[in-house]
Structure 1
C-alpha cells in the first residue's frame, strides 16, 4: 500500500473535496478529515465525528465499506443509503485502504457518482399486489363525516375498483362505490377516525356487475385514513366450493371443534345416522362411538358407531384439520364398511371353521394346540374317528351322513367343559384339546365313546355307530404340536386295530409298530417296482364232473428277508396307500398273458379292488390287457366285492356295464357277508355269485349256514346265475353242495393256489388228481 503522506500531499488533486479520511480505534472509527462536497453529502460538519453517530442509516453503510476495505486490503466499491422525509438517497462509495509511516491503518472514502433519490411511498405502492388507498375525511355542516376523498392509491387498488390511478385519485369514495352510502363498511371507516381500528371482510358490487370480495384493514392519522385491501375472491370461491362439496357429498361428514362439539354436518351424515340436523349439532364426535371405544376416542382408521336407533355400524374414519369461520376445526368423513367387515368376518370364520359342523378346522386347531403347548400347561390331545361312518353314507346317502356329523359335533361339545376345544379335521376325523392329567383325559375319552355309541335318529330310523379314540399327553409325550398330533393318531390306529369303540393312550411301542408298517409299505413299493411279486392260481372246479372250469389269480409275495408275507398283511397296506390300483393292473395283465396259453375252455378270474374303480380308465386298462395278451374276453372273469356296489354305486354300475360290453364275465365275491346283497343282483345282472367261505365252513355245524347256502343257490338258479362255493375242504361239504345244486366249487380239497408253471402241468394232465379220487 502507498504511504499516507505521499497520497495526501501529492495525489488527491480535485478529488479532495469528495473525499474523507477514516481512522482511529477499530471498534469505533472516526472521520479524521472531511472534504467540502463530502461534508455537504453528510449534511453536517464531519471532522472528528464517529461513524456510529451519523444519522439515517449512514453509520451502517460507511462502517461496512471501511470494514470490507480493511479486510480485503484493496479498494472496494459499494452503495451507501440514507432515508429522510420518506425519500431514500443512494450514493456510490469507494473505499481505499491506506497505511501511515507509523503503521496506522486508515481508509480513504470517496463519493463515486451522483446521488439517486427514491420516493419510498411510491415504491411500496408499486411493489405490492395489495390495494393501498389514502383518503381524507369529508364532513358536513354539522361536522359529521359523510364520505372520504381519495388522495392516493396504488395500481392494485385501482384495478380492484375497475379504474385507473388517474381517474380514481381525488374522487369521492362513494362515487367509485355508490353502494357504500349508509353501509356498515362506511361506518367502520368513520369509526377508524375515532381510534377504532381493525380488519373486516365484505363483498362489494362493482360498476361492471362483478362482486369484489375484500379483506379491509384500516388505520387513521387525524383526518386521514390508510386502507389496505386484500382480494379474497379466490379464497371465497374455494370456500364456496368446499361448502358445496361438503353439503352435497354422499359421504357422511361433519366439522367438530377442539372439544369435539359438532359445528356443522352434511345431509349424508344426518340421513345415515338417523339424527335430525338439530340433534346432530348437539352431539360431540365421541357420542357416536360405541361405549367400548369411548375411553380412547380419537380419529382412527376403523371404529364402530351407534346410529340413532341404537344399531351399530362399522366405519372407516378419515379426518384432518381445516379452518372454519375463523376457528380451528376437524373435518371428519366416515365410510360405512359394515357389510365389508361382516363379509371379512365370515371369510375369516370360514378359513378357520368347518362349514358343515361349525367346529374349528385343522388350521385353527393346530394354532390353538401350538399356543397351549407353548404355555407349558399339562394337556391332552384326543384324535378320534367314527366307526362304520362310510356305511351310513353309502346306505342312507350323503345328506344323512352330513346330519350324522352335525349331531356328532353337538355331542362332542356337550362332553367338554369350557376349557375344551373340539375340531373337525376332515371326513369323520375329529380332534379334542383339553386340560388335565391322564385320568381326566381317559375319563373324557370314555364319555365320548359312550356318547357316540348311543343311537342317532336319521331319516326316521336309529343308526348306531361308534368311535375309536387315540390320546397323547403333553408334556409327557413331547411339546411339538405336529409330534403330538402324530402320536395321538398312532394311538388311534392302535385303538382301531384293537377292535374299535375303544381308546388307547400312546405308548412308545406303538411307534415301533407304525414304523414296522411303514417299512412294510416301503418294501411293497420296491417289490412292485421290481415286479418281485408273484401270481398264483387256484382251480375252480365244476361240481358234477370235477373238471377245471377256470382259475382264480391270487397275489403272493415272497420277501427276501421276511419270507412269505400273507396277503392279509400287505393287501390292506396297499389299499390304504393307494398302491392297490397299480398292483391290481399288474396282476390283470400278468393273468391274461398266462391264461392265453391255457386250454380253450378254462377261464381266468381276476379280482378288482374298489380303488381301481376310482381310476379314470379302468375299462381301457382291461381292454389293453386283453389286446396285449390276445385272450378271448369271454375267458376273463372279473370278481368284485360288495364294496364296489356301496361306493358311488351308480357310477360303478355304469362301469360294470361298459366292462360287460367288452365281452368279459362279472362275478360278485364274498356274497352274503354285506348289508344289501340282494339289491346288488337287481342293480346288475352278474354272471356268477361266489358264496363266502365262512358259510361253506359252517355247513354241517350250523343250520343257519345251511339255509343261507341253499337260499343263495336257489336264488342263483332262479336268476340264471352260476353259483360257486369258496373254501371247500371236505368231502362232506362237496357232497352237500352237489345235492344243493351249486355249480362250481373252490378250495383246498382240490388244490391250494399254485405258481403258473405248476398249474400248466396240472392243466396239461389227462385227468386231475381229485377227479380220479372221486
Structure 2
C-alpha cells in the first residue's frame, strides 16, 4: 500500500520539494514530512522535528501560519523569516488546512516564493540617526597610536562630518577633523584601545567652519574602535536658550542642588527679594521661608517667604529638575501672589459682610444662626422706625451715615458677646447667648440708644427701633423658623406703636396669619374697587346748618361684613396700599362734593404715609382739576403724626397744598405731646378736638378746661375749632357755651353713603334742628 504522503504529495509534482506537512495534537505540532527545497530553507533535516524546536525564530512564524490555517479552515499566506550568521532569510509561506478520513487535522506548508537575504548588521548600521564609525589605529615608528583610519561609517556619521560615505571611508580621522590633532579627544580615543570605555561631550570645528557638538561613546576590540556619535547641537542650543530665558525672565528664579544650596539666581529674584547676588548665592531654599501665615513654608506650591527687609510675601512655587553644568539641579520659580491673596480676602469678606456698615450680612448671619441655634441662643430682629423719611428728606448719603451710626451703637450695646448683622435696608439682627431676661434688658438698651438724636446733615434726627425676640431652643432650633418667629414678634412690636420690643408668643402666629389674610383681601378689594366712601356731616353750632362733610372709607367684606377702618387702614399704611387707596378716596370725594350746594365743603383725611409719596401736591391738584371742585371747598385733615415724623419736609408740603387754595385741618388735636408747637409751625385753618375730650365733658372738669383752652387758643389765632364725637344735647350745649364753631357726631348723623348725603345736604332744613 502507498503511504498518504506518497499518494498526496506525489500529486504535487515538483512543488513537493518546496512543501512540508505539519500535524499532531495542539501544542505538540511536528514536521511530519519535509521536501528538499523546504529542508534547505530550514537549514536542517526537519522531518520529525517539533515546531517549537526550530531555531532562528522559525518556531514562532510557522506556529502562527499553522494556527491561523487551522482556526479559519482556509488557506493563509504570511511572511516567515529565519536568521543565520547575521543574515535574515525571508520568504512567503502558504498554509493549506487538510483533514484525513480519521479526522486528523494537517496543514501543508509551502514556500510561496524565493527567500530574500538581508544583512542585519548593515540594516542596523544604516537605519540609526546616530553616527557610527569603525576605525583602525595608526601607529608611528615607535608603536604609538597617533591617528585612526576610518574603515566604515554610516550615512549619519558622514553627514555630521560634512562628507559622504564614499569620500570619508579610508580617510584619516584628523583629515576630516584637523582640530583633533593633539587634542584631549584624540587622547581619549587612544586610551580606549587599552580597554577604557565610556562617553564624553565635546565641540569640534568642521572643515566648513561650522561647530559640531557631539556626545561620543567608545568601545574597542583590539586595534579597532567602534565610535557612536550623537549630535547634541540642538540640545546645546536649547541649553543656551534656557540660560537666556532663566537670566532675563521677569519671574524670580533660582537653581539649587540636592542640599538646597543656591547654584544660580536670576536678576528678577535678587531684585524682588532684595538680596545682592553674592548674598543670594549663600542662601538655601529654606532660608526664604517664613513661619506663620496662610501658607507657612513647607514644600507645597503655596508658601510665605520673607524678603531681606523683613516684609512677608505670599508666593506660588513651581519647581522641576533640569541638568545644569553636569549635575541635576532643581529650578524654582516663584510668583508673588500677595496682592491676589489680599484681593481674594477682600472679596471673601465682601461676600459675607455688608459693604456699608462692615457688619456680617444675611448669608454669614444665617450660617452663624444655624450653628448657634442648636446650642441655644437668643435672636433679635430689629427694624428702624421712620428710616425712609431720612432717605426721602435728607438724601441717601444721610441715610447711609445714619445706618453706619446705628451699627456703631448696636455694637456698643452688644459688647463682646454675640453678633450683630445687617440683613438689608434698615433691618438688623442680633445673636446673643443671654437668657430671656438678659435679652429683654439688651432690647431696652438698644431702644434707648437708638432713640437718642442722630446728628445728620447739620440737624438732629430722631428715629426709633422696633424689636422682635425669639429664643432657641424654646421657640425651635431651625434657623429659618426662628427668623420667622422673631419677625412675627417684630410685627407685633410695630403694631403696639413702635419703639418697643416683643417676645414671640404662639398666639402671634395666628394674629399674623389673620393680618396676612386681611392684607390679601384688601388688595383684592382695591383692585375690584369694592370699597366705598361714606360721608358724615360737619354742623355749625349756631344754626346747626351743614358746613361740610367728612369723607370716610368703608369696606363691606363679603364674609366679614363691615371691617373697621382701625383694622384695615394700618395694614394699608404698612404695605404701601394707602397711596393708591388715598388717591382714589380723594378723587371720589372731590367728584361727589362738586354736586353739592356751593357752600358745603368736603373734608378728606391724609395718612402720614401719603406724605412720603413723591407727588402728593400733584395728586391733589389733579383731583380738583378732574372734578371741577373749587379748591376752597376741599379741606385736608392731617394727624399730629405728620408733624412728628418730619416736620420740616412735611410743613413744606403743607405750604404747597395751601398754595393750591385748599384748607388744612389738624385732626385729633390734644392727644399728642407737643400739639401747641404745631400751631406755631403751620397756620392751620381748623382744629378738630379729639372725641375723647368731648366724651368727658360734664364728667371730668379737666376735659372741660382743655376744650375751653383749645377753643380760646383757636379764637385768638383765628382758627376754627370743631369738636368730634358729639352724641348728646348736653355736649352740644357745653360746646356752644365754650364758643366752639363746629361739631360732628352721632347726634346729627352717622356716616352715610353718597346717595343719602346728597339728599341731606340738599334739604332746606336738617332733621336734627328741631330735636336740638
The two structures share one fold, judged by TM-score above 0.5: yes
Distance in 2 between residues matched to 1:230 and 1:258, nearest whole Å: 29
Distance 1:96 1:650, change over 3 A: same
1:667 aligns with 664
Structure 1 residues 369-448: aligned runs within 5 Å: 369-373=369-373, 376-385=374-383, 405-416=403-414, 420-435=418-433, 440-448=435-443
Distance in 2 between residues matched to 1:344 and 1:49, nearest whole Å: 83
Distance in 2 between residues matched to 1:451 and 1:42, nearest whole Å: 109
3-state SS of paired residue (1:171): coil
1:417-450 deviation digits (Å, cap 9, x = unpaired): 75622223345543222336xxx23223214413
2:285 aligns with 284
1:505 aligns with 503
Distance in 1 between residues matched to 2:355 and 2:755, nearest whole Å: 57
1:209 aligns with 209
2:602 aligns with 604
Distance in 1 between residues matched to 2:15 and 2:526, nearest whole Å: 126
3-state SS of paired residue (1:766): coil
The offset of 1:665, in angstroms, is 1.4
1:570 aligns with 568
Distance in 2 between residues matched to 1:391 and 1:63, nearest whole Å: 99
TM-score by length of 1: 0.78
1:163 aligns with 163
**Gaps (5+ residues) in structure 2?**
none
Distance 1:597 1:230, change over 3 A: same
The offset of 1:489, in angstroms, is 2.7
Distance in 1 between residues matched to 2:511 and 2:359, nearest whole Å: 32
2:138 aligns with 138
Distance in 2 between residues matched to 1:708 and 1:113, nearest whole Å: 137
Question: Greater CA deviation, 356-365 or 685-694?
Answer: 685-694
Structure 1 residues 68-147: aligned runs within 5 Å: 81-84=82-85, 118-147=118-147
* 1:453 equivalent in alignment to 2:451: no
Distance in 1 between residues matched to 2:290 and 2:175, nearest whole Å: 58
1:741 aligns with none
The offset of 1:584, in angstroms, is 1.0
1:299-328 deviation digits (Å, cap 9, x = unpaired): 44x554443433333444555665656666
1:297 aligns with 298
The offset of 1:579, in angstroms, is 1.9
The offset of 1:591, in angstroms, is 0.7
* 1:488 equivalent in alignment to 2:486: yes
CA contact (8 A) 1:691 1:709 kept: no
The offset of 1:745, in angstroms, is 3.5
* 1:250 equivalent in alignment to 2:245: no
1:629 aligns with 627
The offset of 1:129, in angstroms, is 1.5
The offset of 1:153, in angstroms, is 1.5
Distance in 1 between residues matched to 2:655 and 2:549, nearest whole Å: 23
The offset of 1:284, in angstroms, is 2.3
Structure 1 residues 328-727: aligned runs within 5 Å: 331-373=331-373, 376-385=374-383, 405-416=403-414, 420-435=418-433, 440-450=435-445, 452-453=447-448, 456=452, 458-459=454-455, 468-495=466-493, 503-540=501-538, 548-559=546-557, 564-615=562-613, 618=616, 621-622=619-620, 625-626=623-624, 628-641=626-639, 663-667=660-664, 669-670=666-667, 673=672, 688-690=685-687, 693=690, 701=702, 714=716, 717=718, 723-727=720-724
The offset of 1:710, in angstroms, is 5.1
TM-score by length of 2: 0.78
1:745 aligns with 742
3-state SS of paired residue (2:190): helix
Q: How many equivalent residue pairs?
A: 749
The offset of 1:636, in angstroms, is 3.0
CA contact (8 A) 2:306 2:313 kept: yes
**Gaps (5+ residues) in structure 1?**
739-743
The offset of 1:126, in angstroms, is 1.8
3-state SS of paired residue (1:598): coil
Distance 1:5 1:70, change over 3 A: farther
1:61 aligns with 58
Distance in 1 between residues matched to 2:757 and 2:749, nearest whole Å: 10
Distance 1:489 1:75, change over 3 A: closer
Structure 1 residues 29-48: aligned runs within 5 Å: none
Distance 1:358 1:204, change over 3 A: same
1:122-178 deviation digits (Å, cap 9, x = unpaired): 333321211111222334444443332222221111111112222222323233223
Distance 1:366 1:63, change over 3 A: closer
Distance 1:471 1:191, change over 3 A: same
CA contact (8 A) 1:162 1:206 kept: yes
Distance 1:80 1:583, change over 3 A: closer
CA contact (8 A) 1:304 1:315 kept: yes
The offset of 1:576, in angstroms, is 0.9
3-state SS of paired residue (1:453): helix
Distance in 2 between residues matched to 1:65 and 1:467, nearest whole Å: 100
Distance 1:59 1:594, change over 3 A: closer
Distance in 2 between residues matched to 1:749 and 1:631, nearest whole Å: 27
